[in-house]
Amino acid sequence: MKIALISDIHANLEALEQVLKVIDQEGVDLIINLGDLVGYNANPNECLELIRARGDILSVVGNHDQAVSNPDKAQDFNIIAYQAVMWSIDQIEADHLNFLSNLPLNQVLEKRYLACHGTPTCADTYIAYLFQSRRVLNLLRRQLNPIQICFFGHTHKRALWYRDARGKVTLQPLQPGKIYLDRECHYLINPGSVGQPRNHNPAASYAVFDTQDYSIQFKLVPYDIQQTQRKILAAKLHPYLAERLAQGI
């Protein structure tokens, strides 16, 4: 089975359309959306429409999805993110809001693969540093066995962490093309962000996992950033949200 992993779309319609177009050309069996459909960019309803209209997308909840359903959850957001949540609450149609508030915290596939936004137990906890990845890899091994791979988002940065049979945790450098995984290891995999990538490359980021040959491939898709920026400015969202898209930060 080929699974496309998309995350942190954040209401960026241009990026989402391009990524889905490329995924459809490549042909996958399933798409998993790792959360944060809304926030930051200007097309929350359109992105929700697109995701919900398809039958091949499994979604989990992101911290921004939670925040639009429950603004108390946005209290610790930085001010620009907070303002974008408030703007989104005014825009999002009731039926879409209902969809967001019913998204699960995680999804398990074939008993071996888990999809979540931040960590398996919290949509707003980061896996960015070694101690954080170690903690989640231990959780997989001790409490979530037989889960071997956890797909996550939230940082907006591509990442491939693994724990080998000796217990050593490593952040693997990402090379182009297929990266073959070891069935004996536990992995944490972040496909990067579709709608607000922060890898210093502005192209939309996603990944394809192949359960057959046990490989992961990270992919970048250029899209019409200027159009997304124009919409952010027209919506009177903070101009920094437009600036950062061009820099991939």
Query: Binding residues for Fe ion, per CB under 5 A?
Result: 8, 36
Nearest Cα residue to 104 out of 66, 47, 74, 53: 66
92 vs 181, beta carbon nearer Fe ion: 92
Smallest distance from the beta carbon of 168 to Fe ion, in angstroms? 29
* Closest C-alpha among 242, 231, 241, 240 to residue 91: 231
CB 123 within 8 A of CB 62: yes
- Least separation in angstroms between CB 103 and Fe ion: 14
CA torsion through residues 121, 127, 130, 132, sign: negative
And the tokens for 70? 């429950």
CB of 115 to Fe ion, least distance (A): 15
Which has the closest alpha carbon to 4: 15, 100, 25, 128? 25
CB neighbour burial string for 52-61, b if at least 16 within 10 angstroms, e if fewer: eeeeebebbb
Our CB check for Fe ion shows the closer of 157 and 178 to be 157
Q: In what order do the strands lie in the sheet with 30-33?
A: 57-59, 30-33, 2-6, 204-210, 215-221, 179-180
Q: How far is the CB of 153 from Fe ion (least distance, A)?
A: 6
Residue 7 CB, shortest distance to Fe ion, in Å, is 8
Least distance from C-beta 44 to Fe ion, angstroms? 13
Residue number closest to Fe ion, CB atom: 36
Nearer of residues 8 and 14 to Fe ion, judged by Cβ: 8
Measuring CA to CA, how many Å separate 147 from each of 23, 47, 107, 136, 159? 26, 30, 11, 11, 18
